[in-house]
Amino acid sequence: MKRFLILVASMVHLCVASIAIDSFADVKLPAVLDSQMVLQRERPIHIWGWADAGEEVSVTLGDNVAKTTANDSGKWNIDLPAMSADGKTHSMTVQGKNTIRLDDILIGDVWIGSGQSNMEWPLKATDGAEKAIAAATHANIRLLHVPKTQAEAPASDVVAKWKTCTPENIPDFSAVLYYYGLKLNQDLDVPIGLINSSWGGSPIEPWTIADGKSGGMYNGMIAPLQPFSIRGTIWYQGETNVINKNGLAYHDKMKALINGWREAWGEDFPFYFVQIAPWSGSYEPGQLPALWEAQVATLTTPGTGMAVVTDLVDNLGDIHPRNKVDVGNRLALWALAKTYGQKDLVYSGPLFQSMKVEGDRIRLNFAHVGTELKSRDGQPLTEFQIAGADGNFVDANASIDGKTVVVSSGKVREPAHVRFGWHKVANPNLVNSAGLPASPFQTNNWTGGTGEEKTQPSTRTSPGPASKMPPSKADVSYGPHESNVLDFWQAEGDGPRPLLVYIHGGGWTGGDKQRNQKQVQPFLDQGISYAAINYRLSGDAPLPAPVHDAARAIQFIRSKAADWNIDKSRIALTGGSAGACTSMWILLHDDLADANSEDLVLRESTRVCAAAVTGGQTSIDPKVIEGWLGPNVLKHKMINMAVGEPTIEGAIKNYDKHRELFVEFSPYNHLDGNDPPLFMSYGNNMKLPSENAGHGIHHPVYGVKMKEKADLAGHECHLQIQGVSDSDKYTSGEEFLISKLLAR
């Protein structure tokens, strides 16, 4: 991992943005489309390339034939029908002025492996390498190794070639990805295509699409693979971000990475990752556990899974554990259970779920226990610590009681917190019935997930890249800050068109404006234009920045009304979570227009005609919402980060300092009978007090309180709580918005 220092220097010199295609005299294909490739089964087959402008191109694969014409830039693309894995090899012919024939093509599943050096680590440098390489003759496993390169903009191609898995081709290939693919191939008996696109020492940021911008490694090593259909991704990265002391902020970085890649492919494909290994090296105290928590928190993102590897480190002084076979196999367990729907499979080690204080001891509950919890080595459980409210941790006694663990210490009579393996060289011995290790955790405001949402059946058909909706105008700058950008989709119709503006959620700490066809098209079909905005996040600029940025976006759009054919009297808002809170604030707040401003944009009105929101916070005042929902809601970082405090304790301690912001940016405080109509939608978990931070921050009580006030004020407010209450007029927020925006 020392190579990360070299990488920093190399990143200064970015490679060319794309492989130049100076002449399209011959039909050409990208490197990812070649002989010996695996095409993703049960997905539309996307074939694309370059030719002379206006040249007719045909593609033949088995009985499927399709034709198209290269556009003015010489680019062309064709979609062929999805195919099933049939165990046969296939040939493809691409015909233009010249002919390209691709042979030995398989139909199966394609997985990308990415990250830094522990993903890049070659098979030849691992435990058992000699035997593994000698046995690596697998005609139904195909390999594509993407070379290291960065680009300033998304590249169109890479220099790489598909190869069959053989003892000659496998030694320098990613060991983790190989073992992952081998396990899937053996268990599923379908061809597997493996694409290794990793770079030792790399932080997460260059791989990421965020705020409309993409990193150099994404541009050079991931973008050229699109729109090649894939089954999913595995990821092993984070060591450099521990060194960079990113801690819990890594959670937002992971969300941006996952959401960005999924949006780019137009598919919510599985994303499985490795919780990085313990290391005795230069991590500063507390940094590795904080990033571990961020990784477990990523399990709250649907379609994710995490392999725990604390027990696979043979040398704590080496940041590259040499046992990669178990890493690959543990990732494959997640895929077999969640992607391929295998039942009764214990696919994760124990993950902390909840705790209960029982007198002078604490009882811990876990997900992924299997049939029992046990000690890996038959010895007493290790690496548990316990503390009282003062946070002074001491070593604890821990014993297994059924499917729970009971923790205590004679030194702590009134326990409040437990932590487990909470240091950089952790090697605890708690495992489940499958022998999979428990992940390190701490119980104080724990943000981790368990990855237990419903499995994805293997036959699921993806909408594919066609689901993406390129905007009419992309990344239009509406303000002075880098993140002040918006996308705009122009609707057709006579006269100025109504407009719906989407404000993304993410607790004001993350999220992005990306939209797809399913979200945008219903409004365009009704003649309603659509916009989606980004704004500054509270980690960089606390309130009022995120909300005032959104208000400015409305003013900017109004200033473009003539150019963009917008009816200023018919602009509505929508969003979820923090985007819902912002939408309600703009809807209910007094007009922010400043007629005397030298900035012409700020002279425009912020008034809108309606808003439909989901899971929105009607108050962010901690003293108000704790009374509504109980203490768990205060564990959500949205509340403290909104006012620039790193912890909720700081926000409460400095409440008087922040009170004005909490009051001002709570939409509940601005509602009166003259405000435009509002439609609110929430989930149906009405339990009080709220069960945890995520439940509390999106609780239906927010809507109940707003609806009560609205009814007293004579304000048109619709509240939909799924399965509990409905609007007496509208069945959905979409129906409400279309009705309001088309009204004259």
Mean pLDDT throughout 549-563? Answer: 96
Query: Quick one: pLDDT at residue 453?
Result: 62
Query: Quick one: pLDDT at residue 468?
Result: 52
- pLDDT of residue 10 exceeding 50, the answer is no
Rounded distance between C-alpha atoms, residue 725 and residue 738, angstroms: 21
Mean pLDDT throughout 563-588? Answer: 96
Reported for 356-363, long-range contacts at CB under 8 A and 24+ positions apart, including other chains, are: 357/415, 357/416, 358/406, 360/408, 360/412, 360/413, 360/414, 360/415, 361/406, 361/407, 361/408, 361/415, 362/386, 362/406, 362/407, 362/408, 362/415, 362/418, 362/443, 363/401, 363/404, 363/405, 363/406, 363/407
Mean pLDDT throughout 467-471? Answer: 68
Mean pLDDT throughout 38-53? Answer: 95
Query: Angle of helix 701-713 relative to helix 622-629, nearest 10 degrees?
Result: 110
pLDDT band of residue 467 (cuts 50, 70, 90) is very low
Alpha carbon of residue 97 to chain centroid:
43
Query: Quick one: pLDDT at residue 635?
Result: 84
Rounded distance between C-alpha atoms, residue 636 and residue 648, angstroms: 8
pLDDT in tens, 710-744: 999 999 999 999 778 888 899 999 999 999 999 87
pLDDT in tens, 596-650: 999 999 999 999 999 999 999 999 999 999 999 999 899 888 999 999 998 899 9
Query: Quick one: pLDDT at residue 523?
Result: 95
Non-local CB neighbours of 413 within 8 Å, separated by 6+ positions:
360, 388
Query: Quick one: pLDDT at residue 525?
Result: 93
Beta strand residue intervals within 388-518, DSSP E: 394-395, 397-401, 404-408, 417-420, 430-432, 441-442, 473-477, 485-489, 497-503
Query: Quick one: pLDDT at residue 212?
Result: 74
Name the nearest CA neighbour of 234 among 175, 279, 319, 284.
175
pLDDT band of residue 25 (cuts 50, 70, 90) is low
Query: Quick one: pLDDT at residue 539?
Result: 87
Query: Quick one: pLDDT at residue 461?
Result: 33
Q: What is Dmax (Cα atoms) for the chain?
A: 83
Rounded distance between C-alpha atoms, residue 618 and residue 65, angstroms: 55
Query: Quick one: pLDDT at residue 518?
Result: 77
Determine contact, residues 269/262, Cβ cutoff 8 Å.
yes
- pLDDT of residue 472 exceeding 80, the answer is yes
Query: Quick one: pLDDT at residue 17?
Result: 35
- pLDDT of residue 22 exceeding 70, the answer is no
pLDDT in tens, 304-355: 999 999 999 999 999 999 999 999 999 999 999 999 999 889 999 999 999 9
- pLDDT of residue 82 exceeding 60, the answer is yes
- pLDDT of residue 463 exceeding 60, the answer is no
Query: Quick one: pLDDT at residue 9?
Result: 35
Question: What global pTM score does this model have?
Answer: 0.63
49-58, 172-181, 238-247, 468-477: the lowest-pLDDT one: 468-477
pLDDT in tens, 213-266: 899 999 999 999 999 999 999 999 999 999 999 999 999 999 999 999 998 888
Mean pLDDT throughout 382-389? Answer: 97
pLDDT band of residue 7 (cuts 50, 70, 90) is very low
Burial bucket for residue 81 (CB in 10 Å: 0-12, 13-18, 19+): exposed
Mean pLDDT throughout 364-374? Answer: 97
pLDDT band of residue 466 (cuts 50, 70, 90) is very low
Name the nearest CA neighbour of 113 among 123, 101, 104, 103.
123
β pairing state of 99-115 and 38-40: parallel
Q: What's the mean pLDDT when you consider all of the chain?
A: 92
Determine contact, residues 588/596, Cβ cutoff 8 Å.
no
Across the beta sheet with 417-420, the strand order is 394-395, 384-387, 417-420, 441-442
pLDDT in tens, 408-453: 999 999 999 999 999 999 999 999 999 999 999 999 999 999 998 6
**pLDDT above 90 as % of the chain:** 85
Structure-block tokens of residue 698 = 């999106």
- pLDDT of residue 534 exceeding 80, the answer is yes
11-25, 330-344, 676-690: the lowest-pLDDT one: 11-25
How far is CA 688 from each of CA 423, 504, 578, 667, 696, rounded to the nearest angstrom?
A: 35, 27, 21, 22, 9
Determine contact, residues 590/579, Cβ cutoff 8 Å.
no
